[in-house]
């Protein structure tokens, strides 16, 4: 057996353990919130010692980063998959809402209250820019007289999803308005604040986007 072939089973085992750790982490977050996340508690659930678990995640922040990266990657892939020539801003809003409702904890981790003392690395910002780049494209198609900035050009710019057009551009204004309205409705819905009102949050979201 070569050193390379021996390494592959170890890499697979490491990936499996990391996935199991993340699974337990999501369960903790669902029960007690992200601030209560404990690697030692996860290690106990998995029948491991704390030091053994730290071989897979160096600390709480590294685990949170992995969870946030997975969440952003999932949403970015979902939004990009929905980015077809005929999709409207309303259609994109519905796609984002469906993704959020499928796993509210995942949504709240990336768009809810910031984790005290935690700073996300730059590569996560790059993933979130993919989502906003799609939004910019959709809004550009619905804005008369705006240049249609290619998707790959937007992604190729440094934080360029908004920089691809002037800040005063109707497309940028519409994109920002769309984003704030979608996040506002979803945050209220997932927190349960809209439930007592007795109406369909999906219709509210559609009306908010239609106003744009």
User: Cα-Cα-Cα-Cα dihedral of 154, 155, 158, 160, to 10°?
Assistant: 30
Helix extents (H) in 83-169: 89-102, 104-111, 122-141, 151-156, 160-163
pLDDT of residue 33: 87
Retrieve residue 181's tokens.
């309205």
Q: Kindly give, in sequence order, each residue whose CB lies less than 8 Å from that of residue 176, ignoring residues fewer than 6 positions away.
A: 162
56/158 Cα distance (integer angstroms): 32
Domains of the chain, earliest start first: 1-58 (1.10.10), 68-210 (1.10.357.10)
pLDDT tens series, the chain, 212 aa? 555 555 688 888 999 999 999 999 999 999 988 888 999 999 999 999 988 999 999 999 999 999 999 999 999 999 999 998 888 889 999 999 999 999 999 999 999 888 888 888 888 888 988 888 888 888 887 765 444 544 444 444 434 444 455 555 777 888 888 999 999 999 999 999 999 988 899 999 999 988 87
pLDDT of residue 164: 52
pTM score, whole prediction: 0.83
pLDDT of residue 39: 93
How far does CA 120 lie from the centroid of its chain? 12
What proportions of the chain, in percent to the nearest 5, are helix, strand and coil?
Answer: 70, 0, 30
pLDDT of residue 175: 85
Choose among 65, 75, 8, 57: nearest CA to 34: 65
Retrieve residue 45's tokens.
């659930």
114/132 Cα distance (integer angstroms): 19
CA 90 to each of CA 67, 84, 94, 108, 212: distance values in angstroms, whole numbers, following the listed order: 28, 13, 6, 21, 10
């Amino acid at each position: 057996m070569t050193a390379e072939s021996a390494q592959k089973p170890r890499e697979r085992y490491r990936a499996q353990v990391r996935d199991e750790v993340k699974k337990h982490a999501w369960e903790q977050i669902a029960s007690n919130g992200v601030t209560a996340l404990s690697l030692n508690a996860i290690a106990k659930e998995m029948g491991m010692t704390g030091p053994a678990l730290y071989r897979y995640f160096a600390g709480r922040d590294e685990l949170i980063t992995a969870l946030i990266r997975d969440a952003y990657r999932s949403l970015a892939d979902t939004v990009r998959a929905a980015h077809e020539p005929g999709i409207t801003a309303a259609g994109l809003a519905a796609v984002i809402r469906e993704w959020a409702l499928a796993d509210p904890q995942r949504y709240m981790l990336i768009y809810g209250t910031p984790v005290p003392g935690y700073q996300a690395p730059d590569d996560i910002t790059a993933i979130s820019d993919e989502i906003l780049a799609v939004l910019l494209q959709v809004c550009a198609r619905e804005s008369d007289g705006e240049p249609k900035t290619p998707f790959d050009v937007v992604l190729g710019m440094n934080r360029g999803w908004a920089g691809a057009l002037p800040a005063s551009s109707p497309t940028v204004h519409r994109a920002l308005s769309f984003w704030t309205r979608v996040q506002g409705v979803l945050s209220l819905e997932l927190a349960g604040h809209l439930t007592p009102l007795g109406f369909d949050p999906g219709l509210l979201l559609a009306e908010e986007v239609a106003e744009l």
